[in-house]
Structure 1
């Protein structure tokens, strides 16, 4: 399959590293111009320089903005007028037991993982509809379906993304705009790798051993029995953004290694 996104402009939120960075590279490889986003000038600048070197024929820009805030989103909108593709990738997780989670913890994570995507979609979606073509993708998680007891707040935000994605897809049905969610499983992203590295060091084992331990004890239903790569997740996202995926909308596409024991 030859995916060609030349002439398309994409925004990938939270994309200086990890899955977001891999998605930027995948879209650039397919010919799209891409806007990289992060909160820090240094990280955004470094990512833009590196990606421009990899894909000199693609237009790569960077916008520094904290999209977990209304002010940050407003700043972003002033710098990027429109886009054909919006990847709502910004997200984080902060493992904490349920009884220790404060109201502020719940609200802060909701702002980052959910409202950032709501703000971005609300702003860029009408212009896509007007043009008669667009792609919106929410990067959710298998934790949206299999809520982790150690991160109930995280699972809640990821389930919320599925509801928003499906609802917006219903809203724009028949317009040429598709809206989907992609659900990664355990992935060697920056955040996950840092967790595994920290756990490995505390136990005196290798990171690979820590990953296997995590799978065995926390995600034993994995069928690939390994962490996915960020590129494997990005491959699904790039496909969903393509012309070839024009009949795929309103759905949740899993890149979870078979963790969720369901055929639907």
Structure 2
């Protein structure tokens, strides 16, 4: 299968590292003009430099904006009024005892993880519908189905994204615009490496040993028995953004290594 996204503009939020940057790279390799977004000019510039060698690299551009509030989302919209592909990847997480998650932290995680995607999709979906073609993705998580006790707030926000994705797909039914959620499992991103590294130091084991321990203790149903790479997640996202995925919409697409105990 040859995926050709030349002539398409793709916006990937939270794309200066990790899964977001891997998705941006995959879309650029397929020929899309990719818009990198992040809060820091230096990280945006570094991400753009990484895309330069790809097929669509010369067309890549960046926007520095904090999408955690309406003003930041509007700044991105003002800089890039139109897009054919929108990947709502931006998200924050962190272990915290449920009884210590105050209202302010609940509000923060919903503004970043949920409202940023709502605000951007509300704008870009209109243009996609008018043109009769578009792809919108929400990067959810297997934690949306297996709510982690150490991150209830995170799991709830990711569950909300699945409901949002399904609902928007129904709103856009028959328009030529597809909307899907992507469910990664534990993925070896910079943030996760740091998180696992801290746990490894606490327990006096190596990083590799801690990854195996984490899976055994927290995700024992994993079928691949390892962390995924950002590129493995990005591969599914690139396919879902392609013309070949035109009959896939309203779906929760899993790339979580078989953790979820369901055949549906």
Q: Report the counterpart of residue 263 of structure 2 in structure 1.
A: 263
In 1, Cα distance between equivalents of 2:164 and 2:90: 15
Q: Report the counterpart of residue 210 of structure 2 in structure 1.
A: 210
TM-score for both structures, normalised by structure 1? 0.98
TM-score for both structures, normalised by structure 2? 0.98
* 1:203 to partner: Cα distance: 2.3
Answer whether contact 2:33 2:57 (CA < 8 A) is retained. Answer: no
Q: Report the counterpart of residue 15 of structure 1 in structure 2.
A: 15
* 1:58 to partner: Cα distance: 4.2
In 1, Cα distance between equivalents of 2:111 and 2:81: 23
Q: Report the counterpart of residue 253 of structure 2 in structure 1.
A: 253
In 2, Cα distance between equivalents of 1:57 and 1:19: 18
Name which of structure 1's ranges 199-208 and 156-165 shifts more when overlaid on structure 2: 199-208
- State yes or no: 1:77 paired with 2:77: yes
In 2, Cα distance between equivalents of 1:239 and 1:54: 17
* 1:46 to partner: Cα distance: 1.1
* 1:53 to partner: Cα distance: 3.5
Secondary structure of the residue aligned to 1:150 is: helix
* Within-5 A mapping of 1:90-101: 90-101=90-101
In 1, Cα distance between equivalents of 2:33 and 2:56: 11
In 2, Cα distance between equivalents of 1:52 and 1:62: 12
List per-residue Cα deviations over 1:144-193 (Å, max 9, x = no partner): 01100110000000000000000000000000000000000000012111
Secondary structure of the residue aligned to 2:254 is: strand
Where does structure 1 lack aligned partners over 5 or more consecutive residues? none
Answer whether contact 2:10 2:85 (CA < 8 A) is retained. Answer: yes
Q: Report the counterpart of residue 122 of structure 1 in structure 2.
A: 122
Where does structure 2 lack aligned partners over 5 or more consecutive residues? none
Q: Residue 155 and residue 57 in structure 1: after superposition, are their counterparts in 2 closer, same or farther (change >3 A)?
A: closer
Aligned length in residues: 264
